């Protein structure tokens, strides 16, 4: 009897196990069907999206620049620059050619603080070079350097270790500066012998007259700068002698401005300006949009509530008008200093 009871219990347990497996199998089949339906929906959406992208009529623009997206993060390459330039890299020679091309073709403007650091680095290297020369001759080291001596340092750039200058510049810059870049910037623009004062009317007239003498080709700006004789750089001479046409804002220009802003956004005014006209500057485009075309900016008198918000924002953010403007919608940062007066 006990054996029969045990057999019945095993049979019942087996039956329940089979039923549980069947329910689980049915549930899996149902889940698989749902997944297949979702995949079919996704496939249809992907095809529709591809059709939409193919049908977009975008203007074919080639203006040779890039778009800046606020908050974006620079992409990381799978192979670092250091690895590319390694002698063991199979395409080492090609990597060297690419690096050389980038070094001579890409321009990274220096900010005012970087230019100050460049002058200090060159003066320090000049002082170090002269101190070593004096020590080699057995003379005592320099006494305390006064302001006049500091101005003289850097006039003689011969023998300066530009690699040391580049290291100091790269330490305070977001961009790695090369020795050749620092040397060219110093000798070609920032050298103390160059005159960076405001141009006089006589200088402007003379440099335009000298440039006009070159009738068979572009002016030799190095020769123009020498003949001008006022210690101006060739680049400054070119800027002063070349006249930019005065840009007139028309309905067509406004339409091009709005279209360019739609394409490039509000943080790429250099691209916007190139699209609008060759005679307009980025600052002119920005000013035109903010003062005339931007419907989200109010130009009416400030209300009492806005004045109170402005005072509270200035108390919290100081003179950082970008942060202040974020707390007062509808007003541009340029109008806020005037509103405080």
What value does the mean pLDDT take over residues 192-197? Answer: 88
Residue 218 within a domain: yes
Looking at residue 126, its pLDDT comes to: 83
Residue that finishes a domain, picked among 147, 165, 190: 190
- pTM of the prediction? 0.45
> Do 132 and 160 sit in the same domain of this protein?
yes
Which pLDDT score is estimated for 148? 47
Residue 62 lies in a domain: no
User: Given a cut of 80, is residue 160 above it in pLDDT?
Assistant: yes
User: Do 184 and 138 belong together in one domain?
Assistant: yes
Residue for token pair 């974020």 = 326
115 and 185 assigned to the same domain: yes
User: Do 251 and 183 fall into the same domain?
Assistant: no
Residues 215 and 164 in one domain: no
- Among 224, 172, 236, smallest CA distance to 199 is for 236
148 occurs within a structural domain:
yes
pLDDT of residue 156: 67
Band of the pLDDT at 249, cuts 50, 70, 90? very high
What's the rounded mean pLDDT across residues 137-143? 62
Is 27 domain-assigned? no
Q: Which range marks the domain in which residue 137 is found?
A: 111-190
Q: Does 182 fall in a domain?
A: yes
Pair (185, 231) in one structural domain: no
Residue 6 placed within a domain = no
Per-residue pLDDT tens for 277-287? 988 988 899 88
Q: How many domains does the chain have?
A: 4
Query: Would you say 159 and 129 are in contact if contact means Cβ atoms under 8 Å apart?
Result: yes
Question: Looking at the structure, do residues 150 and 135 belong to the same domain, yes or no?
Answer: yes
What is the arithmetic mean of pLDDT over 197-221?
92
Q: How confident is the model at residue 136 (pLDDT cuts 50, 70, 90)?
A: confident
167 and 209 together in one domain:
no
Would residue 69 count as lying in a domain?
A: no
Is position 155 within any domain? yes
Tell me the angle at which helices 221-228 and 201-212 cross, rounded to the nearest 10 degrees.
140
Is the pLDDT at 2 greater than 80? The verdict is no
Residue 143 pLDDT: 53
CA–CA separation, 307 and 106 (whole Å)? 46
């Amino acid at each position: 009897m006990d054996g029969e009871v045990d057999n019945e219990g095993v049979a019942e347990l087996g039956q329940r196990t089979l039923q549980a497996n069947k329910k689980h199998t049915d549930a899996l089949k149902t889940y698989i069907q749902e997944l297949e339906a979702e995949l079919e929906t996704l496939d249809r959406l992907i095809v529709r999206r591809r059709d939409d992208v193919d049908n977009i009529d975008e203007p074919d623009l080639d203006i040779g620049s890039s778009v800046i997206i606020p908050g974006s993060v620079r992409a990381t390459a799978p192979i670092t620059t250091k690895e590319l330039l390694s002698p063991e890299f199979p395409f080492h020679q090609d990597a060297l050619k690419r690096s050389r091309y980038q070094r001579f073709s890409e321009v990274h403007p220096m900010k005012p603080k970087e230019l100050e650091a460049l002058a200090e680095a060159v003066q320090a290297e000049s002082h170090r070079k002269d101190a070593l020369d004096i020590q080699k001759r057995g003379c005592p080291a320099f006494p305390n350097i006064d302001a006049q001596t500091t101005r003289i340092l850097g006039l003689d750039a011969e023998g300066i270790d530009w690699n040391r200058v580049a290291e100091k510049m790269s330490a305070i810059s977001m961009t790695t500066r090369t020795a050749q870049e620092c040397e060219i910037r110093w000798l070609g623009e920032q050298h103390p012998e160059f005159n960076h004062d405001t141009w006089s009317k006589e200088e402007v007239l003379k440099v335009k007259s000298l440039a006009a003498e070159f009738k068979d080709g572009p002016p030799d700006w190095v020769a123009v700068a020498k003949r001008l004789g006022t210690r101006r750089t060739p680049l400054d001479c070119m800027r002063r002698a070349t006249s930019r046409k005065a840009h007139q804002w028309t309905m067509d220009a406004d339409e091009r401005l709005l279209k360019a802003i739609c394409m490039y956004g509000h943080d790429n005014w250099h691209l916007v300006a190139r699209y609008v006209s060759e005679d307009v500057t980025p600052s002119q485009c920005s000013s035109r949009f903010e003062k005339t075309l931007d419907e989200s900016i109010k130009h009416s008198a400030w209300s009492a509530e806005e004045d109170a918000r402005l005072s509270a924002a200035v108390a919290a953010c100081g003179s950082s008008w970008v942060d202040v403007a974020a707390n007062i919608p509808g007003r541009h940062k340029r109008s806020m200093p005037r509103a405080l007066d």
